[in-house]
Amino acid sequence: MFAPYLAFKTTMFFLFLDYVLFFMNLHLVSSASLPQAAAIHLLQFQNSLPESTRFLLPWNQSISHCQWPGVSCYSEEDFRVESLNLTRYGLSGIFEKSVSNLCKLPDLLILDLSGNNFTGKIPALLGNCSKLNTILLNENSFSGSIPVQLFKSRQILQIDLGYNLLTGIIPLSTNNLTKGLRDFPSSCSLSDLRIHENLFSGPLPVSLSNCRNLSVLYASSNNLGGIIPPNTFKGLQELEFLYLDRNKFEGEIPESLWGLRNLKELILADNMFNQSISEDISCFKQLTYLDLSGNNLTGHIPRSISSLGNLNHLFLYDNMITSFIPPGIGNCSSLVEIRLQHNFISGNLPSEISHNDLTGVIPSDLGKNNLPGLVKLDLTGNRLNGTIPSGMCAGNRLVVLALGNNNFNGHFPKEIMKCKSLNRLILRNNLLQGSIPDGIEKNSGISYFDIRGNLLEGRIPIRFGFWSNLSMIDLSENKLSGSIPKEFGNLHNLQVLRISSNRLTGEIPRELIHCRKLTELDLSTNNLSGQLPPGILSSFIMKSIRLQENKFKGVIPDSFTSGQSLQEMQLGSNMLEGPIPCSLSKIQHFSSVLNLSMNKLSGEIPKCLSNLDKLEILDISSNGFSGEIPSEVNNMVSLSFVNISFNLLSGKIPDSWGKILDSHPGSSLGNPRLCLLSTESTNCGKEDRKSYTRGKILAGIMAAVVLLLAFLLAAVYILLIRIQNSSSTEQSILHSQSRTEDLPEDLNFEDILRATERWSDKYVIGRGKHGTVYRTQSVRSRKTWAVKKVDLSESKISVEMRTLSLIRHRNVVRMEGYSIRNGYGYIVTDYMPGGTLHELVHQENPRMTLNWETRFRIALGIAQGLSYLHHDCVPKIIHRDIKSDNILIDSELEPKIGDFGTAKLDSDIDESSTVSEIVGTLGYIAPELYNAENAYSTRLTEKCDVYSYGVILLELLCRKLPVDPSFEEGLDIASWVRKNLQSNHSDFLSCFDEEIQCWDLEEQRKVLDLMDIAIKCTEFMADNRPSMREAVGSLISLNCERKSSVNNTGNSGL
């Protein structure tokens, strides 16, 4: 009875066992297939890449795919691929052909292919990868638009399509993603979207508000634009980082933005937003970084900004913000940096600002009770006055204090020296008086110390020699006296020592040789004496030595070696004797200036000097050199200027020097026995003259033959050229000759040719003695530029380029690029839509009314630009052709000094002791330059520019030309104004512009003060004119409130 039951149970047991074994085997087979399938998909992706880059993925089946570089699995036991990180592997190819293999990885969450060279469109298939939530394709070369599937996906949370590193000579920094942004579906799950540095255009979609989880949006540096609708940000309450800078947005900042309470960083810089900043900014309680710079914002800084306790960076510069800084800004206790420059702000400021119209004094409690975390305070280039407060470092965190180019007075602020955190102190170009205290605090933290251009006197404290961290010290242009402390030799970190233009005496301390890092030494224009210390001149690290205009005696030490780094040595205007030491020629890097002029040097010009084949400027004028110039100097192939005037040289001038001397009249004068073949000099022997004459005849015959051949070739060429199409002609122009250029990234020479229709006159915006200026445009950025075209055979474009390359100031035109090709030079600058000051003032139908604010802004801007050229540039620059035609006006009515074709650098000024040619424009030229009695004995100084500036002020006030047809014969504007003011005491406004005669009394008083400055600037005697720094000080005081103006008259310096 039990047997059948037992047999049944046995059968059922074995059936169950077979069932279990079957499923166990099935599971094992499935588990084994998982790693094999994932590896196959990855290898298929690898094989889809170009052969040239496959080897960059060292994948093979000898090990588990989870151990392959860039592949991450969920765990050691779980072979499913979780992420693929192939960033910066150098991979390339069309990604659309490869993506299907990656989407076959069913559990892939993160795909990072950033920093490669993939091209083509972004595959729509990525939106359908089952679990993919992070896509990082930044820094590639994708093109086209973003597929809408990426936005519709409910899985994808983070997309980064920004920045690329395109291949080529110059790596580009953007994708080529174009067209407008897609609409965002209601199902948008994105939390992080980065599309910066592309070429998207059109508006920001309102549907962006559907992405309610969005916390990061980077859309910087595109072509997005238009007015952002008010409700665009309404649903984005999770947004923490919003970057929309460097686009073309305009109108008011949308109201919904001010309600984003979780926002931490907001950057809207470099757009065209207008209106004012809302008081609702107080809702940004988490905000740490706010940048609204470079827009057209107006109104005042909202008072509610004081409630932003976490704010550490506030940038509102380059707007049109007015009024004053709200006093409650001191409540922003986390502030580290504030930048408000280039606005219309007035009053006092408790934080960083540069180049505004600030007046008054710095609050005495600044740093004591507010802004305890202040790290950097820069009030450079304003019109602040009074004494410098002593408590600005009460928080013991101040690192940088920059108060240069103001009107601060009083004594040197010795209390500041106790600030142990201070690293950089810049007090240049103020009115500080008295002496630097001998007991000045020892401060081992300061590395940069600049008090240039004040009124300080007395001795240099020896305590400076114990500031062990000091790397740069500039005490120039003061009234310091006594000797240079030998303790300076203790400054082992010192790199730059400048004490020029003082009243120092004694010898150069030999202890300076211990300054092992010293690369620049400027002790020029003092009363130093003794002999030149050999150890300093033979320093291996020194690059620039300026000792000119002192009383050094003896010989130049013959101790130079081949290992030196010297590039510039100026020893002019001393009492040095003896020959030029031959060891000087051993310096391989000597590439800039060698100035030995106005000494008592003698002997012949040594042949070894020719080894200085990198030297650009050589001045040995006003010495006692004799004999012939050795022909070996033809090897000095880099020379652009030579001055050998007023020596005892004889014989012929070598060819290379002859060409240079011919291009600089006066640079060979005063050598009665020198043979100048290009003139009718009687010092050339008969054979020389016959040889020269035969040469001229032969040259004439050859020229005739060449002309005949040229005529025949030209006829054939014209016939051939007509067959060619215009594109090939253009290419031949672009590539026919060697060229040198450095143009802005978004502008190439082809753009310039096309935009100007190959230099059509209809694009001309200015003509001058030194070239023609055209308006051009970049095809890529649509930015408008100005290009100056100069014939190299008639102008020394190198002068203008060299000068412009030294200049960085908001009131001076900046060179943005250049090109030299086919016998022409091209200088690229920003386009100035306001035209020239001449057009603004003298147009028959003026396009705008010149009110007091506009005229003063222009007058002050020009003065600040000139003051920068004269007092802050190293070397200083004299423009020599300041006139209203050379003052350009930008869109904000800010003046910019242009056209430096005749400018002189300080190093060039020493090359000629007197003026040898009259440069400038009639009516603007200083009288000492054209007065027949003293023109050629007059030394060129910056006071010539001061005179021209005074003429511009008179133009601005009278709206008369410098030499106006309405003037009596022999009168220019300066003499006409003086005559009118002397004869019309009762009607003192008669010579002013008619508009001014209708102004209120207070503004007319300011006009009279400005006229007073103009008259002082146009004084007949140069010594009676103010410096431009003094003129700036007077202008700043002039526009203060009447009471402040009276109180500060003594600080103007006029």
C-alpha 456 chain-centroid distance: 31
Q: Are the beta carbons of 131 and 155 closer than 8 angstroms?
A: yes
- Which one-letter DSSP state was computed for residue 366? B
- Which one-letter DSSP state was computed for residue 576? E
The number of beta carbons lying within 10 Å of the beta carbon of residue 1041 is 11
CA dist 313 and 351 (Å) reads 11
Six-digit token string for 168: 């080529």
CA dist 959 and 953 (Å) reads 10
Six-digit token string for 842: 């003298």
What is the layout of strands, in order, in the sheet containing 141-144?
Answer: 92-94, 117-120, 141-144, 176-177
Question: ∠483-484-488 over CA atoms, to 5°?
Answer: 155
- Give per-residue burial for 168-194: e unless 16+ CB within 10 Å, then b: eeeeeebbebeeebbebeeebbbbbbb
* E strand segments, 769-863: 771-777, 784-791, 815-821, 824-830
CA dist 780 and 912 (Å) reads 47
Q: Which of 398, 379, 376 is nearest to 443 (CA)?
A: 398
CA dist 40 and 328 (Å) reads 65
- Intra-chain end-to-end CA distance of the chain, in Å: 135
Q: How many helices (H) and strands (E) does the chain have?
A: 19, 55
**Residues 6 or more apart in contact with residue 739 via CB below 8 angstroms:** 819, 820, 821, 822
- Give per-residue burial for 884-900: e unless 16+ CB within 10 Å, then b: bbbbbbbeebbbbbbbb
Q: Are the beta carbons of 781 and 746 closer than 8 angstroms?
A: yes
For the four alpha carbons of 46, 49, 51 and 56, in that order, the dihedral sign comes to: negative
- Which one-letter DSSP state was computed for residue 581? P
CA dihedral 636, 638, 639, 640 (to 10 degrees): 160
Q: Are the beta carbons of 140 and 162 closer than 8 angstroms?
A: no
**Residues 6 or more apart in contact with residue 485 via CB below 8 angstroms:** 460, 461, 462, 464, 465, 509
Six-digit token string for 1040: 């203060």
Is the peptide bond preceding residue 579 cis, with omega within 30 degrees of 0?
no
Is 479 flagged in the annotation as binding?
Answer: no
3-state secondary structure of 157: coil
**Residues 6 or more apart in contact with residue 589 via CB below 8 angstroms:** 564, 565, 566, 567, 614
Q: Which amino acid is at 7?
A: A
CA dist 118 and 109 (Å) reads 20
Q: Are the beta carbons of 535 and 561 closer than 8 angstroms?
A: no
Q: Which of 590, 587, 599 is nearest to 558 (CA)?
A: 587
- The phi and psi torsions of 139 (rounded to 5 degrees) equal 60, 50
CA dist 1026 and 99 (Å) reads 73
Q: Are the beta carbons of 565 and 542 closer than 8 angstroms?
A: yes
Catalytic residues: 881
3-state secondary structure of 1001: helix
User: Where is the binding site, in residues?
Assistant: 789
User: Where is the binding site for ATP, in residues?
Assistant: 789
